[in-house]
Amino acid sequence: MVQVRVSEGLLEGEVVHNEYGGTLYSSFKGIPFAQPPLGDLRFKAPQPPKPWDGVREAKEFGPKCIQYDSFIKAGLLGSEDCLYLNVYTPKVNPDKPLPVMFWVHGGAFMTGGSNDDLYGPEFLLRKGVVVVTINYRLEILGFLSLDTKDVPGNAGMKDQVAALRWVNKNIANFGGDPNNITIFGESAGGASISYLLISPMTKGLFKRAIPQSGAALSDWSQTVRPRERALAVARKLGCYSEDDKELYEFFKNQPIESLTNAAAPISLAEANKKGLEIYFSITDEKKFGNNERFFYGNVVDVVSNGIHEGVDIMTGFTSDEGLIWIEKETLNERLDMIRNFPDMLVTKQLSFNLSVHQQIELGKKIRKFYFNDGVRIPEDWEQLVKYYSMNTFIFPTMKFAKLCAGAKKNKLYLYRFSCKSERNLVAHFTGLTELIGSKPVTAHADDLLYLFNAKLLNTKVDMKSYTFQLIDKVTTLWTNFAKFGNPTPDNSLGVTWAPFTLEKEEYLDIGNELVPGVKADHEEVQLWEKIDKLFGSPTQIVTADEI
């Protein structure tokens, strides 16, 4: 038993034995960082938590935010009352305050949570840091925008800010250093971290940031036509009004089951795309009175000029990110669609800005680059993975790194993650074992199991094993960065990881060996840079020969 006083009252956690290293740590679960977002608070920015009398037990996780889990086919789970976080600390009263690592989970802004089923803290705690994991509202509840004062959007991101503010205010009582907070997250969590780096609501709340496999420049991280999406869902649920007040009342009074997994496409191209589509994410907020806006403006301009000055950044991607978009059941159909309709290869943001002629011309050039003279079914699945990896994760990360390096206000480290062991399980979880065969891959999210002790695996890693050496290496890099702003402050890992510059484009390949390199995936990045440059003006007609 261990007690800590926070601004709302007294918390009672528990002392836990860390099976990785044998030390003890203190665990505090299910701490409310905001009021339950129920009733009139649905879709609103989070409100400060209410104080309690006596001792509040912090030994059980709060519920995950309500979601329809299509990844592990778990169906509907969680609760609308879900704004809770967890704090794990090696020492409540250390000799000097400990660095804090604040984790934002991924899951396409649709699924996920802060519990130790995926995000057990033991590997990181070995390295002497405080670990915080948080929940935030998902999908429609977290990201609906009517472009009105009542529903301006970004409620889920404001949840993250509220959790970060709570941590700044209270973490010293857990032994953490509020002046040394590193925010980190993966996938939608990585995009979230990228946005937290530029949000006017977060200045001064953290010292360092690690966006993993997600960037503010990923087209899936920003909602296209948010109000149109809201209207499409309303129509799907039987409401055909376009009146602001009527729409708000309709959404506010819907049973929660109706709003979960209720997204609707707003274009024929979206409707025809097979596989996971992210319909609700971050919105360019309009100004309403004194409302705090999480994000507004053109994201490229803001990243170019508005990353919080002096914050150290470490960002990167896995070597086979795009496997996450492959579904065995629809693979052949998807390849056939690309063979017949090259505009399927045009990204969502571009498809809304380009003419049909431009989309076909651009699609042909992309198809030629990845599939040469023809799409072979199903043999070209690996080329499809390369395409998805680049346009969905790698190019947005590279563009983010280059804009950041160009502004020269932040030190940035770039990585490519390619570790391979029995902990690379994502391709198998998603049913692709037969497809990939014996080929070793590092899929989207495969980096997580080298950072976190996922309890759902129900296995203990032998600390004398080669796999644990990889875990130790990865957690050393991450916690070194959190402690010192430099992942290789000495030669203990046998490598020096140089910061990224525009001149050399330095990066570290974090594989079974640590290998420094320059110009990651250069040929592909050049193609996408050319596309980005040529199609910067939506009115410009470009022929295939120009690309």
Does residue 249 form part of some domain? no
Among the candidates 273, 308, 343, a domain finishes at 308
Ramachandran sector of residue 335 (left: φ over 0; alpha: ψ -120 to 50; beta: rest): alpha
Residue 105 pLDDT exceeds 50: yes
Q: If pLDDT is split at 50, 70 and 90, which confidence band does 542 have?
A: very low
Q: How many CA atoms lie within 13 A of 507 on its CB side?
A: 24
pLDDT confidence of residue 262 = 84
What percentage of the chain exceeds 70 in pLDDT? 96
Based on the domain organization, do 448 and 331 belong to the same domain?
Answer: yes
- Residue type (1 letter), 386: K
74-90, pLDDT tens digit by residue?
Answer: 678 999 999 999 999 99
Residue 387 pLDDT exceeds 70: yes
Based on the domain organization, do 297 and 332 belong to the same domain?
Answer: no
Based on the domain organization, do 38 and 169 belong to the same domain?
Answer: yes
367-376, pLDDT tens digit by residue?
Answer: 999 999 789 9
pLDDT confidence of residue 539 = 37
Q: Which domain holds residue 353?
A: 321-546
Distances in Å between the Cα of 5 and the Cα atoms of 130, 161, 445 are 17, 21, 35
CATH code of 541's domain: 3.40.50.1820
Residue 210 CA to residue 314 CA, distance in Å, equals 5
Based on the domain organization, do 383 and 504 belong to the same domain?
Answer: yes
pLDDT confidence of residue 276 = 67
Based on the domain organization, do 380 and 302 belong to the same domain?
Answer: no
- Whether the Cβ atoms of residue 56 and residue 138 lie closer than 8 Å to each other: no
Based on the domain organization, do 382 and 298 belong to the same domain?
Answer: no
pLDDT confidence of residue 312 = 98
Does residue 158 form part of some domain? yes
Based on the domain organization, do 7 and 117 belong to the same domain?
Answer: yes
What percentage of the chain exceeds 90 in pLDDT? 82
Based on the domain organization, do 292 and 379 belong to the same domain?
Answer: no
Based on the domain organization, do 296 and 350 belong to the same domain?
Answer: no
Based on the domain organization, do 290 and 352 belong to the same domain?
Answer: no
Based on the domain organization, do 353 and 379 belong to the same domain?
Answer: yes
The overall average pLDDT reported for the chain is 93
pLDDT confidence of residue 314 = 98
337 vs 72, higher pLDDT = 337
Does residue 269 form part of some domain? no
Q: What's the pTM value of the predicted model, to 2 decimals?
A: 0.95
Does residue 60 form part of some domain? yes
pLDDT confidence of residue 460 = 95
Does residue 265 form part of some domain? no
**Mean pLDDT along residues 42-67:** 97
**Mean pLDDT along residues 398-404:** 97
Residue 378 pLDDT exceeds 90: no
Does residue 444 form part of some domain? yes
Does residue 87 form part of some domain? yes
Residue 16 pLDDT exceeds 70: yes
pLDDT confidence of residue 436 = 87
Long-range CB contact pairs, 329-337, < 8 A, 24+:
330/274, 330/275, 331/378, 331/381, 331/384, 331/435, 332/377, 332/378, 333/274, 334/274, 334/275, 334/384, 335/375, 335/376, 335/377, 335/378, 335/380, 335/381, 335/384, 336/375, 336/377, 337/272, 337/274
- Whether the Cβ atoms of residue 83 and residue 33 lie closer than 8 Å to each other: yes
Q: What's the total number of domains in the chain?
A: 2
pLDDT confidence of residue 268 = 76
Written as six digits, the tokens of 127 are: 């390295």
pLDDT confidence of residue 275 = 60
Among the candidates 244, 274, 308, a domain finishes at 308
Main-chain dihedrals φ then ψ at residue 286, nearest 5 degrees: -85, 160
**Mean pLDDT along residues 465-479:** 98
Based on the domain organization, do 210 and 328 belong to the same domain?
Answer: no
Residue 335 CA to residue 488 CA, distance in Å, equals 42
537 vs 466, higher pLDDT = 466
The rounded radius of gyration (Å) of the Cα atoms in the chain is: 23
Residue 404 CA to residue 305 CA, distance in Å, equals 8
Does residue 243 form part of some domain? no
317-367, pLDDT tens digit by residue?
Answer: 999 999 998 888 889 999 999 999 998 898 877 777 788 888 999 999 999
132-171, pLDDT tens digit by residue?
Answer: 999 999 999 999 999 999 999 999 999 999 999 999 999 9
Pairing state between β 84-89 and 130-134: antiparallel
- Whether the Cβ atoms of residue 206 and residue 196 lie closer than 8 Å to each other: yes
